[in-house]
Copies of this chain bind each other. A is one copy, B any other.
């Protein structure tokens, strides 16, 4: 079985063994079994511990040899000096791939390095593909609901794959996606990469049909040319977002004690990413903002952005943010101005951003969006203020038609226009094949979960950004990647 076949098995195991299972709450040997179970894993679960007994609803087997059926995937959570032996045993009973969670190898120095070498030799001799050691586990919602990680995060199935040199960051990213009902295809914490490496997983993801966007956290790469080759091939078919840990001296020092990676210079890595088409982002928030947008949006064919604002400051700030991000807040040609003139009152501002001041109808707002999107001169659109009616509906709380004749009809009407607006955005993206980004304050805070249109859009991977900077930067990243893809196809 080659590496890619082993990875395929890793993400679709029909049975999982937990070597070093424990009945003690709080121990990793307990936690992994718990997460696997609570995640709803569909295959057979085999906890293994010489002590035997039961764990959750599973029988604990005393050794791998005792297991009643074949094992596709073994998680190994026993002390480092016992890991090589367990890997050999995996080989004997035909386990194709093992994830070694145990730490205390290369990252702790010479002694650990020697033990890691021993584990690798055991794996190679036994024909077992190895993830880790010193890693946080794996997620693969389809086909088996495999959630087997340190962190109890259970995002639904989706199109985003995560490959990370930090287990905690996978936990963070999965948590942030999950809590917004956004999905994951595969996650893997690569740990010390003793055998399987970031590049192997990226290569697998090129043809993985569950994955549409790949995000990766990297502190260092062991082979620059291989990374570049794989990244370039990946970027030709789906976007790759990279967070590079260790871009400054302090970050590099921290990375060295974390994964032992000799982190390269930030500037060199940036140039490298640009060359292969990868999208470099600074932190988890920027990564998610961008990854989710890439799930929903077509790539812009140029950097000319149209903006529709619902009055005042936001339009100005978005225009500033777009220019700073390298986008062109294009001046509108006469034919577009005329088309807008026909739909808008005489006093509209006749420029981009189109500023539909407070009080203008939602119909005019939607119409302006469509006129801009239809224009040849516009490659992408930013619309402000979405979620308005739902965000403000609370003001009618406690008022009945008796107190205020017509209030229920009025409220229903505005809420309907919000719902219609959300559907309209989805239709626009589909019909004009240009990205439409939304920016608004109405997703901040508790009430967003009562804001149905916001939830409707989110289920379609359309986020609303509460920041002009974030909106503009996401669009700029889509635009740069779109330009790279066009250059590759030319």
Seen from chain A, the residues whose Cβ lies within 8 Å of a Cβ on chain B are 25-26, 28, 34-35, 38, 56, 103, 108, 136, 150-152, 164-169, 171-173, 175-176, 178-180, 217, 219, 243, 245-251, 253-255, 257-259, 266, 282-286, 309-317, 319-324, 329, 347, 349-353, 355, 357-359, 385, 391-392, 394-395, 397, 403-404, 406-407, 410, 441-442, 444-449, 466-470
* Cβ contacts under 8 Å, A282 to chain B: 317, 320-321, 468-469
Are A180 and B250 in touch, CB under 8 angstroms? Answer: no
Are B56 and A312 in touch, CB under 8 angstroms? Answer: no
Which of A243, A248, A350 has its CB near the most chain B CB atoms (within 10 A)?
A248
Are B468 and A284 in touch, CB under 8 angstroms? Answer: yes
- Counted per complex, copies of this chain come to 2
Are A103 and B176 in touch, CB under 8 angstroms? Answer: no
Measured CB to CB, the nearest residue on chain B to A174 is B441
A235, chain B: closest CB distance, angstroms: 22
Are B168 and A251 in touch, CB under 8 angstroms? Answer: no
Q: When chains A and B are docked, how far (Å) is the Cα of A438 from the Cα of B442?
A: 24
Seed contacts A178-B445, A245-B320, A250-B320; 5 additional CB < 8 Å A-B pairs: A34-B395, A56-B403, A175-B444, A179-B446, A283-B321
Q: When chains A and B are docked, how far (Å) is the Cα of A347 from the Cα of B109?
A: 10
Measured CB to CB, the nearest residue on chain B to A328 is B250
Are A466 and B176 in touch, CB under 8 angstroms? Answer: yes
Are B180 and A467 in touch, CB under 8 angstroms? Answer: no
Taking A249-B323, A286-B467 as contacts, is the C-beta distance between A315 and B258 under 8 angstroms?
Answer: yes
A396, chain B: closest CB distance, angstroms: 8
Contact residue among B38, B136, B219, B243 (Cβ-Cβ distance under 8 Å from A358): B136
Are B319 and A253 in touch, CB under 8 angstroms? Answer: yes
Q: When chains A and B are docked, how far (Å) is the Cα of A317 from the Cα of B447?
A: 31
Are A395 and B469 in touch, CB under 8 angstroms? Answer: no
* Cβ contacts under 8 Å, A176 to chain B: 441, 444-445, 466
Taking A168-B312, A355-B258 as contacts, is the C-beta distance between A395 and B152 under 8 angstroms?
Answer: yes
* Cβ contacts under 8 Å, A391 to chain B: 175
Measured CB to CB, the nearest residue on chain B to A384 is B168
Are B403 and A169 in touch, CB under 8 angstroms? Answer: no
* Cβ contacts under 8 Å, A323 to chain B: 248-251
Are A314 and B167 in touch, CB under 8 angstroms? Answer: no
Measured CB to CB, the nearest residue on chain B to A466 is B285
Q: When chains A and B are docked, how far (Å) is the Cα of A25 from the Cα of B258?
A: 61
Are B250 and A329 in touch, CB under 8 angstroms? Answer: yes
Q: When chains A and B are docked, how far (Å) is the Cα of A327 from the Cα of B397?
A: 47
A176, chain B: closest CB distance, angstroms: 4
Are A317 and B245 in touch, CB under 8 angstroms? Answer: yes
Measured CB to CB, the nearest residue on chain B to A444 is B176
Measured CB to CB, the nearest residue on chain B to A348 is B257
* Cβ contacts under 8 Å, A25 to chain B: 404, 406-407, 410
A168, chain B: closest CB distance, angstroms: 4
Q: When chains A and B are docked, how far (Å) is the Cα of A315 from the Cα of B358?
A: 44
* Cβ contacts under 8 Å, A285 to chain B: 466-467, 469-470
* Cβ contacts under 8 Å, A319 to chain B: 248, 250-251, 253-254
